[in-house]
């Protein structure tokens, strides 16, 4: 009943928008009303004592429940980081799995406080959808996966092929743009559910499967014989992924933005989960002292404890540690997500 | 009917009129007050919901309105009845979706009716094996969720061999996991005219049959209709086709690169959806048909036989008209169900209106407009089916005198 559920989700989203102001006092405080002030969402989260985080329905490495039912992944760690900054407790998060189709409605209607769900930052999402993206925690790009036996070496060999794609994402539009630009004709097979679309590719209904390279790596690693599948070297789009909040949630957006910069900055300064306590006591570098709350009041400027970064790094590690822990096992290299000092794109403005 | 029993003197004059008194004890005044109040409350709620939505959308700076329909869609569509490119507008993409829904709904309704009727009759058969097989079919098909059946058919079709190892039973026909490919002809304007001639021939045959029936009522002599019918429905299109130069270029599918080119394709997605919907709905229709036939008492058969009517005539003139009275109303519900169930297409990748509207609302972020379009489309299709079936029902309903 996926179709029904999807449509239902959209209707519920619409309905939530219809009744939000009046129902808000009656329903769970999660049902936020239109944010009147810049801090309304942050205040609501504090009052509730839990962060409600929209994540993927299950994508290895980014957001997936483990065998104990505990959510794990790169995106999930960003939700936990917010909870640590607010309450020094990574478990005060409720995860709401969202599909590619219902994620925006979920955020718009206030069903979730924030999205950390491999969402590509685009102009139209920033404006007409009413969101604010708080940074780029993963530089991704769209690629193709084919069977090794197909004899395809570059994406240009795919002329005339049947290509499996999930609907409702930038993936679909990138595919058509790329085909048009390169005069490639293809037959799309558009399937909503991840399992079904991967199944169609594996069974041979499609010659290729296209999505973000990170998603391809995740899918490939989950196959019984990953070596039977290869990811083509071509990357046909820019997919800057990052967390998003609603327009008007400036204070909450600030917090998310600087948590990400803090994580990147910590990696740059060599602060890790193992040495953060030590560094907070003994490291004499002014940058480190400011970040770890020994001098200045950076935490309070964001409305959280001055030891926010100490707590986050102690619990979750810095950006590089989060990356290796979650995305290393599915075979993703740092690539463009390396620090700028290592030739990558991850660069944090100064925390001061 | 009823007018003949009513007193004609009372036909025009209603109950005697009294002026309305401005008092709560006046029943008519009370009625008016309550009605105004209820209508007012409903209108106020609707207005409140509307203005609230508009306000919330504005506060969140979410775009509203149907302006997006004219923008470039950029979404790929696998199969379409009209020409479509990703550079076309959302309006065009949604039209493709509506046509795809109609394509599966109309073909599905026709096939489900045929299959369901056959199974329903088979279940009543005196042949033990036939009736048990039909019974087993109905019980199994009705008891499994439709989504499960769709996924089952889709998986089966996916496990067919790839295009390079395609099954090739007859020259030009290929069956693979890319679908069923059939040879076709290169379509030219002459073929459109021939098709038009066929429709004209069909209408002509109906008119001819009606005229012949009128003559039969006059002199009691039955007349043959089929010679004229064949002339009109076969001869006329052939004549049109030959006068326009008789164009005929076969278009035979052939494997080029990854996929087959040429011919016509029935995709696994469409085929799985059609198969699932038809077999599922046929299970219900079979029971309706069985009930309808059993509702006609055996005495009707015997009486007609006693009058010397042939078996075909008994079925056509005595049994079916009575059975249809019972069959048609629940059949309407089944047609509506089939149409609405086609929205499960989204699970197996057939791009119907729900699939395309969902993508549209996701790309534009305008959920309310997207859902409104889906609702409007289904409402229009469903009301059309209801309207047609109600008209047909009133035509075949037993006229009581």
CATH, residue A88? 3.40.190.10
Question: Residue B9: its pLDDT value, please?
Answer: 60
Task: Please indicate, yes or no, if residue B195 is contained in any of the structural domains.
Answer: no
What 3-state class would DSSP assign to A95? strand
Total structural domains in chain A?
A: 3
Q: Looking at beta carbons, which residues of chain B come within 8 Å of A155?
A: none
A105 touches chain B (CB under 8 A): yes
Query: In terms of DSSP H, where are the helices of B296-366?
Result: 298-306, 311-313, 320-341, 345-348, 353-364
10-residue block means of pLDDT along chain B (401 residues)? Answer: 54 68 83 94 95 83 82 87 89 95 95 94 90 95 94 91 84 86 83 90 92 88 86 89 84 81 86 95 95 90 91 84 89 95 91 91 84 94 94 80 60
* Residue B263 C-alpha, separation from nearest chain A C-alpha, in angstroms: 15
Residue A60 pLDDT > 70, yes or no?
yes
Question: Residue B257: its pLDDT value, please?
Answer: 78
Residue A27 pLDDT > 80, yes or no?
no
Task: Please indicate, yes or no, if residue B12 is contained in any of the structural domains.
Answer: no
Q: What pTM was computed for the model?
A: 0.76
CA distance A75 to A134: 13
Measured in degrees and rounded to the nearest 5, phi and psi for residue B199 equal -60, -45
A329 touches chain B (CB under 8 A): no
Q: Which residue of A has its CA nearest to B269?
A: A189
A125 touches chain B (CB under 8 A): yes
**Domain CATH for B110:** 1.10.3720.10
Task: Please indicate, yes or no, if residue B223 is contained in any of the structural domains.
Answer: no
CB contact under 8 A, B365 and A108: yes
Give residues 173 to 192 of A whose Cβ lies within 8 Å of B. 173, 175-177, 179-180, 186-192
Give CA B38 to chain center in angstroms: 38
Question: Residue B12: its pLDDT value, please?
Answer: 62
Residue A24 pLDDT > 60, yes or no?
no
Q: Which residue of A has its CA nearest to B258?
A: A161
The residue that leads in pLDDT, A46 or B253, is A46
Q: Looking at beta carbons, which residues of chain B come within 8 Å of A35?
A: 59
Task: Please indicate, yes or no, if residue A245 is contained in any of the structural domains.
Answer: no
Element containing residue B101 per DSSP (H, E)? helix B90-123
Q: Looking at beta carbons, which residues of chain A come within 8 Å of B365?
A: 104, 108, 124-125, 128-130
CA distance A57 to A116: 11
Question: Both A110 and A168 in a single domain?
Answer: no
Q: Which domain holds residue B96?
A: 90-186+249-396
Q: pLDDT by residue (tens digit) across A91-137?
A: 999 999 998 778 888 998 899 999 999 899 999 889 888 899 999 99
Question: Residue A93: its pLDDT value, please?
Answer: 97
Residue A14 pLDDT > 80, yes or no?
no
When mean pLDDT is compared across A31-35, A41-45, A101-105, B222-226, the lowest value belongs to A31-35
CB contact under 8 A, A18 and B364: no
CB contact under 8 A, B348 and A196: yes
Helical packing angle, A250-269 and A40-48, nearest 10°: 80
Mean pLDDT of chain A: 87
> Which CA distances in Å does A18 have to A30, A34, B47, B60, B348?
15, 11, 11, 13, 32
Q: Looking at beta carbons, which residues of chain B come within 8 Å of A178?
A: none
Question: Both A6 and A126 in a single domain?
Answer: yes
Facing residue for B347 by CB, picked from A2, A11, A14: A2
Question: Both A134 and A10 in a single domain?
Answer: yes
Query: In terms of DSSP H, where are the helices of chain A?
Result: 2-23, 40-48, 74-87, 103-108, 123-127, 170-181, 194-203, 213-221, 250-269, 276-282, 286-291, 298-302, 308-316, 319-327
Question: Residue A21: its pLDDT value, please?
Answer: 42
* Residue A104 C-alpha, separation from nearest chain B C-alpha, in angstroms: 7
DSSP string, A177-202: HHHHHTT---EEEE-SSHHHHHHHHH
A234 touches chain B (CB under 8 A): no
CB contact under 8 A, B60 and A34: yes
Residue A320 pLDDT > 50, yes or no?
yes
Q: Which domain holds residue A78?
A: 2-139
């Amino acid at each position: 009943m996926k179709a029904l559920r999807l449509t239902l989700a959209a209707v519920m989203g619409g309905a939530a928008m219809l009744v939000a102001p009046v129902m808000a006092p009656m329903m769970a405080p999660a049902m936020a009303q239109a944010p009147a002030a810049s801090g309304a969402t942050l205040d609501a989260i504090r009052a509730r004592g839990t962060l409600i985080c929209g994540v993927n329905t299950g994508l290895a490495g980014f957001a997936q429940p483990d065998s104990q039912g505990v959510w794990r992944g790169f995106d999930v760690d960003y939700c936990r980081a917010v909870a640590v900054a607010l309450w020094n407790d990574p478990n005060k998060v409720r995860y709401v799995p969202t599909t590619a189709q219902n994620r925006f409605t979920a955020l718009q209607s206030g069903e979730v406080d924030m999205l950390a769900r491999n969402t590509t930052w685009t102009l139209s999402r920033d404006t007409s959808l009413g969101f604010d993206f708080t940074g780029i925690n993963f530089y991704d790009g769209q690629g193709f996966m084919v069977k090794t036996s197909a004899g395809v070496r570059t994406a240009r060999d795919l002329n005339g092929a049947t290509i499996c794609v999930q609907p409702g994402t930038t993936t679909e539009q990138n595919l058509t743009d790329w085909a048009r630009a390169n005069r490639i004709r293809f037959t799309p097979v558009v399937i909503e559910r991840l399992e079904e679309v991967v199944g169609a590719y594996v069974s041979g209904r499609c010659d290729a499967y296209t999505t973000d390279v990170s998603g391809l790596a995740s899918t490939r690693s989950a196959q019984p014989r990953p070596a039977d599948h290869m990811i083509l070297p071509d990357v046909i789009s820019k997919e800057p992924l990052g967390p998003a909040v609603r327009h008007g949630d400036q204070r909450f957006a600030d917090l998310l933005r600087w948590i990400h910069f803090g994580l990147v900055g910590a990696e740059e300064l060599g602060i890790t989960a193992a040495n953060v306590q030590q560094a907070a006591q003994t490291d004499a570098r002014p940058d480190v002292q400011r970040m770890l709350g020994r001098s200045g009041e950076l935490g309070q400027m964001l409305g959280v404890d001055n030891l926010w970064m100490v707590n986050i790094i102690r619990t979750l590690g810095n950006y590089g540690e989060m990356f290796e822990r979650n995305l290393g096992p599915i075979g993703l290299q740092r690539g463009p997500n390396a620090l700028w000092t290592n030739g990558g794109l991850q660069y944090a403005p100064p925390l001061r | 009917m009823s007018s003949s029993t009513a007193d004609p003197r009372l036909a025009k004059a209603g109950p005697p009129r009294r002026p309305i008194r401005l008092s709560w004890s006046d029943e008519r005044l009370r009625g008016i007050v309550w009605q105004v109040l209820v209508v007012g409350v409903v209108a106020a709620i609707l207005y409140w919901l509307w203005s609230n939505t508009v306000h919330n959308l504005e506060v969140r700076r979410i775009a509203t309105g149907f302006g997006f329909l004219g923008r470039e869609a950029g979404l790929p569509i696998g199969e379409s009845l009209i020409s479509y490119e990703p550079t076309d507008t959302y309006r065009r993409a949604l039209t493709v979706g509506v046509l795809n829904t109609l394509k599966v709904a109309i073909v599905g309704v026709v096939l489900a009716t045929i299959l369901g009727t056959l199974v329903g009759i088979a279940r009543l058969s005196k042949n033990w094996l036939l009736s048990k097989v039909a019974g087993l079919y109905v019980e199994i098909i009705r008891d499994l969720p439709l989504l499960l059946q769709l996924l089952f058919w889709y998986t089966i079709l996916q496990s067919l061999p790839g295009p390079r190892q395609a099954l090739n039973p007859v020259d030009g026909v290929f069956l693979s996991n890319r679908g069923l490919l059939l040879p076709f002809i290169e379509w030219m304007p002459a073929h459109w005219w021939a098709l038009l001639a066929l429709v004209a021939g069909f209408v002509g045959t109906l008119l001819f049959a009606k005229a012949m029936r009128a003559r039969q009522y006059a002199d009691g002599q039955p007349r043959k209709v089929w010679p004229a019918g064949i002339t009109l429905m076969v001869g006329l299109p052939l004549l049109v086709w030959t006068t326009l130069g008789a164009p005929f270029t076969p278009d035979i599918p052939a494997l080029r690169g990854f996929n087959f080119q040429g011919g016509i394709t029935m995709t696994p997605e469409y085929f799985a959806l059609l198969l699932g919907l038809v077999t599922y709905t046929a299970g219900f229709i079979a029971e309706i048909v069985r009930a309808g036939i059993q509702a006609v008492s055996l005495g009707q058969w015997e009486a007609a036989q006693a009058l010397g009517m042939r078996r075909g005539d008994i079925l056509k003139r005595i049994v079916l008209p009575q059975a249809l009275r019972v069959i048609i109303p629940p059949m309407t519900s089944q047609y509506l169900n089939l149409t609405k169930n086609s929205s499960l297409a989204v699970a197996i990748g057939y791009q119907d209106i729900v699939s395309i509207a969902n993508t549209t609302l996701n790309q534009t972020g305008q959920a309310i407009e997207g859902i409104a379009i889906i609702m409007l489309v289904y409402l229009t299709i469903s009301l059309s089916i209801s309207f047609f079936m109600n008209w047909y029902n009133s035509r075949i309903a037993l006229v009581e005198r």
